[in-house]
Chains A and B, each alone.
Chain A
Amino acid sequence: MKHFFIASILAGALALPAYAADYTIIAPANPGGGWDQTARSLQTVMQQEGISGNVQVQNVPGAGGTIGLAQFASQQKGNPNALLVGGYVMVGAILTNNSPVTLKDVEPIARLTGEYEAIVVPAASEIKSMADLVEALKKDPGTVSWAGGSAGGVDHIAVGLIAKAAGVDPTKINYIAYSGGGEALAAILGSQVTAGISGYGEFESQVKAGTLRLLAVTSAERIAGVDAPTLKESGLDVVVENWRMVAAAPGLTEEQKAAVTADIEKLAKSAGWQEVLKTKGWQDTYLAGDAFKEQLSKDVSATEAVLKGIGLVK
C-alpha cells in the first residue's frame, strides 16, 4: 500500500498545481453521463481560465437528477460557492418521480449547451423519410418500435410529441427504453427496432458513415452542417431541445447571484469553453437571466402536458 501512496503523491504533485479552494460543482448523475461530462468540463475550463482556483466535482447520482437536486437545495442553501449542473431531463424526472423539490427551489443561472434530438432508421430500412414513418405510425402504432433512453426521458417525450402531432394516440406508441445511448444505438444498428431517437451527437458518426439514415431533427430551424429537415418541415409542429444548465444554491443575496452569473458568463465566453464545445460537439446555446427562466417555465408546462398524454404522470 505504502509504495502506491508514495507513487500517487509523486504523480499527483507532478500533475496538479496547488490552488486555493473555490467552487464545488454537483453533477447529479454517475460518472460518464452528459451532466458529469459538463461538470468536469466546467471544472477544467474554470481552472484553466483562472475563473476559480480549485474546483471540485461531486457526483450525487440518482433518479434523473432529482436526488442531487434535492440534496443541493437543502444542503447548499446560501452557499455562493456551490453549483449544480442540470438539464431538461430533470424537468421530466421531477414530474414522473413526484419530486418534492423542483427547479423553483434552486437558482437557475444560465443555459450552457443544448442538443437537438434526431430521428434515425437503419440504412437498410424501407422507411425513407419522416413522411413514411408517420404513415406507418398512423397505420398501426404498435408495429413501429422506437429505441431511446429511459422511460419518461427526453427521447420518450419527443416520441410522444411526434405521435400527438401526427394525430396518433400517444398511449399507443411502442417505445422501447434502453439504459444508455450506446445500448439503444446498438439496437438500431442491429435493426432490432424500427426507428431510433436520441441526441444528434450520438448518431452523428453513424450518419456520416452511412450506416444510419437521418430522417429529421427536432430543432426549430435546420442545423448548420446537418443534412436533414426539421420536424416542422415534415409537417409536425414539434421542437425539442435537450438543454443543459448550471444553477446556483437557493437563498443567495442579489450580489452573490450577480457574482456567480458573471463568473458563468466569463466561462461561457472564454476560448477554453468554446474549444470544449467544439471537441465535444455541443451546441452553444448560452442563455442567462430572465430569458432563460421564461423558457424554463414554458418547458415545464409543455412537458407536463405530454407526460400526462403518454400516461406517465397522473
Chain B
Amino acid sequence: MNKGNTPSVETRRPDRAALIIAAVLAVIAGVIFWDVSRLTGLAGYSQVGPTTVPYVIACCLIGLAIWTAAEGIRGDFAEREPQQFGPVIWIVAGLAAQMLLLNILGFSIATGILFALTAGGFGKRRLWLTIPIGIAFSFFVWVIFAKLLQLSLPAGPFERLFF
C-alpha cells in the first residue's frame, strides 16, 4: 500500500521522523520498566513470572529504538509520500463526534454525523445534504440490527420518535 519504499540514494541527511519514532519506542520501553517494577514477583513455581516477558519486550524495544535511530541518522529510513492532513482531520472529527454523541443522541444521529464527515474528508463537503443522508442511512441500519437482529445499539431521541 505504500509505494514510496524504494530507498533513495540521494538523501543522506538524518531523518527527523525516524529519530522521533526511535524516541517513542524508547519511551514505551521506559513505561514498561516503570509499570512492571511495581508488580510483586509472585511467580509461583515457574521462574518465568509475570514480569519476565514485559522486561524482555522492553529490552527488545530499546534495541529497535537504537536500530531505528541508526537508520535515521544514516538516512536509510523509509521515504514517505507527502500527506494531506485536511481529510484526516475531517474523519478524525467524525469519529470523535460519534464517540462523544453516541450515548446522548443515539446511534442514528451520532453515526450519521460520522458518515457525513467521512464523506466530507473525501470531498463531499455539502453537510446540509450529507448529514440527513447519513442519519437516514444509519437509522435504516439501526432498525435492521437493533430491532430485527436484537443487537444492542444505543437509542436516542430520534429512534424514540419511531419506537
Direct contact of A and B (CB under 8 A): yes
Please name all residues of chain B whose beta carbon is closer than 8 Å to the beta carbon of A21 when the two chains form the complex: 163
A5 & B163 in contact (Cβ 8 Å cutoff): no
A56 & B144 in contact (Cβ 8 Å cutoff): no
- Choice from B40, B44, B148, B163 contacting A175 with Cβ under 8 Å: B44
Please name all residues of chain B whose beta carbon is closer than 8 Å to the beta carbon of A59 when the two chains form the complex: 152
Q: Quote the shortest CB–CB distance from B104 to chain A (angstroms).
A: 12
Please name all residues of chain A whose beta carbon is closer than 8 Å to the beta carbon of B147 when the two chains form the complex: 12
Please name all residues of chain A whose beta carbon is closer than 8 Å to the beta carbon of B1 when the two chains form the complex: none
Please name all residues of chain A whose beta carbon is closer than 8 Å to the beta carbon of B144 when the two chains form the complex: 5, 8-9, 12
In terms of DSSP, what is the predominant structure of the interface of chain B?
loop
A8 to B147 Cα, complex, angstroms: 11
Please name all residues of chain B whose beta carbon is closer than 8 Å to the beta carbon of A16 when the two chains form the complex: 148, 150
Chain A 6-36 interface mask (CB, 8 Å, partner B; 1/0): 0011001100100001001000000000000
A9 & B45 in contact (Cβ 8 Å cutoff): no
B152 & A56 in contact (Cβ 8 Å cutoff): yes
Chain A 255-296 interface mask (CB, 8 Å, partner B; 1/0): 000000000000000000000000000000000000000000
Please name all residues of chain B whose beta carbon is closer than 8 Å to the beta carbon of A58 when the two chains form the complex: 152
Say yes or no: is B149 at the interface (Cβ < 8 Å to chain A): yes
Count, A-B residue pairs, CB within 8 A = 27
Please name all residues of chain A whose beta carbon is closer than 8 Å to the beta carbon of B150 when the two chains form the complex: 16, 56-57
A174 & B152 in contact (Cβ 8 Å cutoff): no
Given contacts A174-B44, A175-B44, contact A12 B163 (CB under 8 A): no
Q: Which of A33-87 contact B (CB under 8 A)?
A: 56-59
Task: Indicate the size class of the contact surface on chain A.
Answer: 10 to 19
Given contacts A175-B44, A311-B42, contact A9 B152 (CB under 8 A): no
CB nearest neighbor in A for B147: A12
Please name all residues of chain A whose beta carbon is closer than 8 Å to the beta carbon of B163 when the two chains form the complex: 21
B45 & A174 in contact (Cβ 8 Å cutoff): yes
Chain B 53-64 interface mask (CB, 8 Å, partner A; 1/0): 000000000000
- Choice from A12, A24, A142, A311 contacting B45 with Cβ under 8 Å: A142
Please name all residues of chain B whose beta carbon is closer than 8 Å to the beta carbon of A9 when the two chains form the complex: 144, 148
Q: Quote the shortest CB–CB distance from A55 to chain B (angstroms).
A: 9
Q: Quote the shortest CB–CB distance from A69 to chain B (angstroms).
A: 17
A59 to B150 Cα, complex, angstroms: 12
B152 & A57 in contact (Cβ 8 Å cutoff): yes
Please name all residues of chain B whose beta carbon is closer than 8 Å to the beta carbon of A8 when the two chains form the complex: 144, 148-149
**Known A16-B150, A56-B152, A57-B152; 15 more pairs at CB < 8 Å:** A5-B144, A8-B144, A8-B148, A8-B149, A9-B148, A12-B144, A12-B147, A12-B149, A13-B148, A16-B148, A21-B163, A24-B152, A57-B150, A174-B44, A311-B40
Q: Give 16 pairs: A residue, B residue, CB < 8 Å, sorted on A.
A: A5-B144, A8-B144, A8-B148, A8-B149, A9-B144, A12-B144, A12-B148, A12-B149, A13-B148, A16-B148, A21-B163, A57-B150, A58-B152, A142-B45, A174-B45, A311-B40
What is the interface of chain B, defined by CB distance below 8 A to chain A? 40, 42, 44-45, 144, 147-150, 152, 163
What is the interface of chain A, defined by CB distance below 8 A to chain B? 5, 8-9, 12-13, 16, 21, 24, 56-59, 142, 174-175, 311
